[in-house]
Amino acid sequence: MSSLQILDVSKQYGQTEILKKINIDIDDGEFLVLVGPSGCGKSTLLSMIAGLDTVSSGDIRIGAQRVNDLHPSKRDIAMVFQSYALYPNMSVEQNISFGMEMRGVPKDERAKAVKEVARMLQMESLLSRRPGQLSGGQRQRVAMGRALVRKPKIFLFDEPLSNLDAKLRVDMRTEIKKLHQRLGATIVYVTHDQIEAMTLATRIAVMKGGELQQLGTPAEVYNTPNTIFVATFIGSPSMNLVPSRLERDGDAGGLALLVSGVDGAAPLRVALPPQSAAVQAYAGRELIAGLRPEAIGNGNLVKSASTREVRAVVEVTEPTGPDTLTLLRLAGHEVTARLAADADYRAGQEAEFTIDLAKLVLFDRDSERRIC
């Protein structure tokens, strides 16, 4: 396996800028997920790592080697595509071993490698079948097996699960994670599905409009999003965002958050726990306050110095089994709370809820970047 460096990489098609000075450092054995909406440039970046597209400026390094001008066949990379790209007239065994045959690997070595990979992916019984006789999940396993027998420096996955149904996606996600843990492989994985990103990655690169919005562990990206875009793109349901104002609270240098009232509702004033100097500097200014749904509870949150009680009106409840997603009206704003599974509310009911301000994230209203 090998490390990967993406240094100030940009891509233009004519006057159109697709990628803008992307910098990502990937250690040997990491699982990096490139995530973002369609058209953000993640697949273009993957193609440039693979050598299927050229770099307009910047460098791509695999290990210590600059590979910008290196032919794809010389980069020692294996790619798993969204479309599987299997040969329909070949058996599973032939599909897996075909690349090795083209490289002149002896027959007995090919057979040994295919047997090892088939056992790893639990598809020994499928080796004599052709792709047309396989399910979507089985075809994806074959595509992964073809990549695995090469034992490359880096694996590239281009939205490999997007053609599968919901249950199969979950099963294959687990298989890919097990595979990474077993092999310690360096993997770069492209998806638009933020749940795939959160569950698979050791680090996530969130992209938008050709720019890197944030690079961090799943916990960092989820709990301390750099921008409002990251806050809303990562997490299901996404982070609640409400326009607010930061005000001085008393003579001891405290702060309060004044949530502006809408649709005739009264504003909501909430005293904040001690804040950083960066937040203190925003006293008297408008900003955007963010809270994840699980930071709003009805008795399922442990009360502490950072929790506060607020009143809100219930609009909709959605039991999910382990918890209940509840749409509330807080100072007239719609917010989603993740409540206890036994939460029992009716539409229109006003009740008291707990918010955990230790999980509060504040954003600059104009730049949409995180303040703290």
Chain segment 64-95, per-residue pLDDT in tens:
899 999 999 899 998 888 777 889 999 999 99
Answer yes or no: is pLDDT of 36 > 70. yes
Q: How many CA atoms lie within 13 A of 65 on its CB side?
A: 11
Average pLDDT score over the chain: 92
Given this model, what pLDDT does residue 251 score?
Answer: 63
* Locus of tokens 């233009």: 12
**Superfamily for 240-364?**
Nucleic acid-binding proteins (2.40.50.140)
SS3 (DSSP) at 49: helix
Given this model, what pLDDT does residue 171 score?
Answer: 84
* Locus of tokens 């997603």: 325
Question: φ, ψ for residue 112 (rounded to 5)?
Answer: -65, -45
Tell whether omega for the bond before 131 is within 30 degrees of 0, i.e. cis.
no
Overall average pLDDT of the 307-332 stretch: 95
Question: φ, ψ for residue 343 (rounded to 5)?
Answer: -60, 130
Taking only the tens place, the pLDDT of each residue in 4-25 is: 999 999 999 988 999 999 999 9
Given this model, what pLDDT does residue 252 score?
Answer: 62
Answer yes or no: is pLDDT of 362 > 90. yes
Stated pTM of the model: 0.89
Given this model, what pLDDT does residue 50 score?
Answer: 94
Given this model, what pLDDT does residue 135 score?
Answer: 87
Overall average pLDDT of the 171-198 stretch: 90
* Token reading at 355: 């918010």
* Token reading at 309: 């009680």
* Locus of tokens 């409002």: 228
Given this model, what pLDDT does residue 213 score?
Answer: 97
Query: Could you tell me which CATH class the domain 4-229 is placed in?
Result: alpha beta
Q: What confidence category does residue 209 fall into, taking pLDDT thresholds of 50, 70 and 90?
A: very high
Domains 4-229 and 240-364 agree in fold: no
Neighbours of 20 (CB within 10 A): 15
Answer yes or no: is pLDDT of 300 > 80. no
Q: What confidence category does residue 1 fall into, taking pLDDT thresholds of 50, 70 and 90?
A: low
Burial, 363: exposed, middle or buried (Cβ in 10 Å; 0-12, 13-18, 19+)?
Answer: buried
Question: φ, ψ for residue 87 (rounded to 5)?
Answer: -80, 115
Given this model, what pLDDT does residue 121 score?
Answer: 83
Given this model, what pLDDT does residue 206 score?
Answer: 97
Torsion of CA 340, 343, 345, 349, to 10 degrees: -50
Overall average pLDDT of the 272-284 stretch: 93
**Nearest of 22, 18, 38, 31 to residue 213 by alpha carbon:** 22
Determine the angle formed by the axes of helices 136-148 and 92-102, rounding to 10 degrees. 20
Given this model, what pLDDT does residue 103 score?
Answer: 84
Overall average pLDDT of the 341-359 stretch: 94
The residue ranges of every structural domain in the chain are: 4-229, 240-364
- Residue 122 vs residue 273, higher pLDDT: 273
